[in-house]
Amino acid sequence: MSAADQTPTTPRIIALMNQKGGVGKTTTTVNLGSVLSQAGKRVCLIDLDPQAHLTLHLGVDDEQIDCTVYDLLVDPQCTAEQAIVHARENLDAILAEVDLAGAEPELAAVDDRQRILRRKFDVIADRYDYVLIDCPPSLGLLTLNALALAHEVVVPMQAHFLALQGVGKLLETVGLVCQRVNPKLRVSGVVLCMHESQTTLAKEVLADLDAFFEASRQQDVPWRDCQVLRPPVRRNIKLAEAPSFGQTILEYEPSCPGAKDYVELAASVVALGGAALGVKTHAGADAALPIEDDAAQRKRATPHATGNGVPAVKSAAGQVEPKPMDAPVTPEQQQAADAAIRAARVAAPEPDAGAQTEK
């Protein structure tokens, strides 16, 4: 059964974003999506990275792909319906090829270019419970398209000593995007990937992150409800092996620590929306809890939600005011958004190499 075969719903659209490379964005997108789909959620994954690692990881046969996310962005005639590939039970995907790298220069003169994906995807969004977008390790137009479509940002990262600096820069960018492109966007979670919980450094970074987000609770910032999600995903060689086989971790080695971590992490992601995930961990523990309607629960869980579901912000005077609905982007806003992204763009450092991996 295709993920899109059931009744309409309000999806949670989550961009997995970090401008740093090799931190676990793709691994998290694929395996979270896989766990959610196996728990009966209707899931769509979008590969917005020209490296096309998500596409490779899913192991989809080329013949199944009529058009890619590149076509969706640059060809006005291409629809999201045409770009959808049915990858697994309950799991659809919009896939990428290396030509996606050409999209940014080709779109340089197109009006409202940061919202192309959103305009196209909105038409089919209500077929899904969860839409997960794998962002490239950069802060360009592709990432901006992800942030314009998303409701939430989840930040995969590694607990190393520059991590907090990188997260600060990323939060700044999300703040700018909120102001200019997508006022509803919020940062809902951080996922610690390739985690080595025994190291002092990892413990310190985790404590610093928790303290940082606790201190943000009273501020009018898009990350004020952000949680460092538990559990951290341990470093586990099976997670690194699975993509070469075009398999998710539940298909490749469902009893390994990496699979267990992603099953539990998926339950935490669902819980962020106020619901629970009915899925068994392979360690034998039953993470099943009653599943309520995610959208209804999310509405209840959103702080200061207004009657029409539009998230609200506190004014300086402490009154709750609705955030503005999206208006068409003016040329000035477009320029400002481009400038903000240019200013925030940072070179992605090389991924950590050589660390030990848990079997």
Ligand X SMILES: Nc1ncnc2c1ncn2[C@@H]1O[C@H](COP(=O)(O)OP(=O)(O)OP(=O)(O)O)[C@@H](O)[C@H]1O
115 binds, among ligand X, Mg ion, none (CB under 5 to 8 A by kind): none
Check binding of 347 to ligand X (CB under 6 A): no
Give the integer Cα–Cα distance in Å for 305 and 123.
24
194 binds, among Mg ion, ligand X, none (CB under 5 to 8 A by kind): ligand X
Are β-strands 91-94 and 84-88 bridged in parallel, bridged antiparallel, or unpaired? antiparallel
Q: Can you tell me which of 11, 33, 50, 137 binds ligand X, judged by CB under 6 A?
A: 137
The smaller minimum CB distance to ligand X, of residues 113 and 235, is found at 235
Q: How far is CA 179 from the centre of its chain?
A: 19
Q: Can you tell me which of 177, 206, 239, 313 binds ligand X, judged by CB under 6 A?
A: 239
- Tell me which stretch binds ligand X (CB under 6 A): 161-169, 233-241, 298-306, 315-323: 233-241
The smaller minimum CB distance to ligand X, of residues 1 and 353, is found at 353
The smaller minimum CB distance to ligand X, of residues 84 and 193, is found at 193
Binding site for Mg ion (CB under 5 A): 25-26, 53
Helix (H, G, I), strand (E, B) or coil at 188: strand
Q: Are 227 and 217 spatial neighbours (Cβ–Cβ below 8 Å)?
A: no
Are β-strands 320-322 and 312-314 bridged in parallel, bridged antiparallel, or unpaired? antiparallel
Check binding of 138 to ligand X (CB under 6 A): no
Alpha carbon distances (Å) from 136 to 13, 48, 254: 17, 6, 27
22 binds, among Mg ion, ligand X, none (CB under 5 to 8 A by kind): ligand X
Check binding of 193 to ligand X (CB under 6 A): yes
Check binding of 98 to ligand X (CB under 6 A): no
Q: Can you tell me which of 9, 51, 82, 216 binds ligand X, judged by CB under 6 A?
A: 51
243 binds, among Mg ion, ligand X, none (CB under 5 to 8 A by kind): ligand X
Are β-strands 186-192 and 152-157 bridged in parallel, bridged antiparallel, or unpaired? parallel
Query: 351: cis peptide before it, omega within 30°?
Result: no
Give the integer Cα–Cα distance in Å for 336 and 304.
29
Q: Are 238 and 258 spatial neighbours (Cβ–Cβ below 8 Å)?
A: yes
Residue type, 297: Q
Q: Point out which residues bind ligand X (CB under 6 A).
A: 21-27, 49, 51, 53, 137, 193-194, 233, 235-236, 239-240, 243, 258, 351, 357
